[in-house]
Structure 1
Amino acid sequence: MQIQQFPVTLVIIVATVIISLRALKDAEMKYKWIFYPFKVNKENEFYRILSHIFIHGDGLHLLFNMFVLFSFGRQMEFVLNDFYGQGLGSLHFFLLYFLGGLAAAIWPFVRNKDNPNYMSLGASGAVSAILFASILWLPQGGIYLMFIPFEIPAWLFGILYLLFEFYMSKKGGTGIAHDAHFGGAVFGIVYVLLINFDKGKAFFEYILS
C-alpha cells in the first residue's frame, strides 16, 4: 500500500518539535511542563500529565521519538483512515496518541506521587501506543534496529519489547521511564482491541501459523 503524508501525524510532529526546541532553551518553561507526580498529587497540577508529552530532554531524545512517530504514525493513520474513513480514522489516531500518553503516566504517577525527586518528560509513552497499535494491526510487518543487520518480525519485537520494558521498570535506577513505555504500549494494544477485536484474533492466528 502507498503511504502518504497525513495531517494528524505531521501536526503532532511539528507542534512537538516547536515546543520542545523552545523548552530546551527555556529552563523555567521546561520545569513547568515536565511530568512531576508529586506536584500533580500535592498541588493538583494535572496539566503536567499532558504537557510533558510535548517536551524532551535533549535533541537526540526528540529526534528519536519523532522518527519513530513518523515511521509508524503515518502508517497507522493510513490504515485507520482506510478502515474507518478519513474523519473517524483521524479521530481514532488522535485519541490513540494522546490517550496513550495519558495512560503511560498512570503507573509512574501511582509509584511516585509522594516522591519529590521523580520527574519525567517526552512523548515516548504516546509513541509506544502508536507503535504497538501498529504491531497488533500489522503483525506481518518488520522492524529494523540500529546495529542489527536484519529485519525483526514486528510481532516478535513487540513481545520482546514488552518483556524488556516491564523488567527494566521493576529494576529501576536507569533514569529512563520504562514504566511509561510499558504503559503506553499496553494502551496501544487495548485501544485496538476495543475498536476492532478481530485484529487481536488475527494477530494470534498469524503468530501461531
Structure 2
Amino acid sequence: MNYRPSLNMPPVVKNLILVNVLFFLVTKIVGQTGTDLYKVLGLYFPASDNFRMHQLFTHMFMHGSIGHIFFNMFALYMFGRVLESVWGPKRFLTFFLVTGLGAAALHIFVMFIEYKSAISQISPDQLAYFKELAAQGKYIPNTASEKITSLLSTPTVGASGAVFGILLGFGMLFPNTELMLLFPPIPIKAKYFVIGYGVLELVLGLSQPGSNVAHFAHLGGMLFGYFMIRYWNKNSNSFY
C-alpha cells in the first residue's frame, strides 16, 4: 500500500492534539491555584482511594511535562494523520480509544501483580497501616510500604499507550516505508522500527519494575492495536 504524505491534519488528529494541549494548559494553570487535576484525571490503581472510573479515559489526555506532550503529539501527527486518511475519522478514533484503554488494562494488570507481590510479604494490620501512610504520601523506605505507596499514590498520565498503538498500526499498514531515525540518523523500515521498539519496551518493562515510565502500557497499546487490525482484516473486505 502506498500513501501520499501531506502536511494537512485530518479532523480527529487535529482535535485530539487540541484537546491534549488544552488539558495540559488548563492543568498547569489551575495547578497554580493549588488544584491538582492530575489527582482527578490521572489514572490511579483501582485499589487506591483516588481511583475513579472516568480516569480510564481522561488519563489519555493528561501529560506531565512539555517534553512528554510534545513527543506524543508529534508522533500522533506524524503517524496518526496517515492512518486516519486510510481508515477515516470514525475508525481511527475507535482505534485510538481502544488502544488507549487496552494500554491502561495491561498497565493495571501488571500493577496488580506487583501489588499482590508486595502485600504477600506483610500482615493485614501492616497493610492497613501502610495504606494510611500512602494516603498521606508517606512510606517506610526499603520496605513493602514504599512499593505500596508508589502503586496507590502515583497517577499514570499520557496518550503514550494509544500513540504506540498508532505506531504499530502504521508499521502493519506500511511495513516497508522507510523512517529516518534521529539517533543515529539512519533510515529503517517501519516494520523493523516497530518490532525493535516493542522488544525494547518489553526488556525495559521486565528489567525496570516500578519505573516512572509505563512500559507495559506502551506494550498494551501495541498489543490491542495488533489484534484490532487483525480483527478488522478478517471481518471487513473493504478494510484496505
Same fold (TM over 0.5): yes
What residue is the counterpart of 1:191 in the other structure?
A: 228
Runs of 4+ that moved beyond 3 A = 41-44
Q: CA deviation at 1:37?
A: 1.2
Aligned to 2:10: 6
- C-alpha RMSD of the superposition: 1.9
The alpha-carbon distance between structure 1 residues 166 and 43, as it changes in their structure 2 partners (threshold 3 A), is same
Determine helix, strand or coil for the equivalent of 2:37. Answer: helix
Contact kept in structure 1, 2:44 and 2:50, CA below 8 Å = no
Task: Please state whether the residue corresponding to 1:5 is helix, strand or coil.
Answer: coil
Question: Which string of whole-angstrom CA distances, capped at 9 and with x for unpartnered residues, describes residues 79-124 of structure 1?
Answer: 11xxxxxxxx211100100111100011221232553144211000
Distance 1:64 1:118 in 2: 22
Unaligned runs of 5+ in 2: 116-150, 236-240
**What amino acid maps onto 1:93 in structure 2?**
F
1:197 is displaced (CA, Å) by 4.2
Structure 1 segments unaligned to the other structure (5+ residues): 81-88, 199-209
Larger CA deviation: 161-170 vs 65-74: 161-170
TM-score (norm 1): 0.83
Higher helix share: 1
Q: Which amino acid aligns with 1:159?
A: I
Counterpart selection for 1:151 from 181, 187, 195: 187
Matches within 5 A, 1:167-182: 167-171=203-207, 172-182=209-219
CA distance in 1, matches of 2:215, 2:182: 19
Residue of structure 2 in register with 1:95 after alignment: 94
Corresponding residue number in structure 2 for 1:166: 202
TM-score w.r.t. length of structure 2: 0.73
Matched residue, 1:30: 38
CA distance in 1, matches of 2:99, 2:110: 18
User: Larger Rg: 1 or 2?
Assistant: 2
Larger deviation, residues 155-164 vs 43-52: 43-52
C-alpha separation in 2, matches of 1:145 and 1:31: 36
CA shift at 1:2, angstroms? 4.6
Q: How does 1:33-52 map to 2 (within 5 A)?
A: 33-38=41-46, 45-52=52-59
> In structure 2, how many angstroms separate the alpha carbons of the residues matched to 1:118 and 1:108?
13
**Identity of paired residues, percent?**
29
Deviations, residues 22-70 of structure 1 (Å, cap 9, x unaligned):
112334112111110135x667611111111101010110000000000
CA distance in structure 2 between the partners assigned to 1:65 and 1:73 by the alignment: 11
Given that 2:103 and 2:161 are in contact with CA atoms closer than 8 Å, whether structure 1 keeps it comes out as: yes
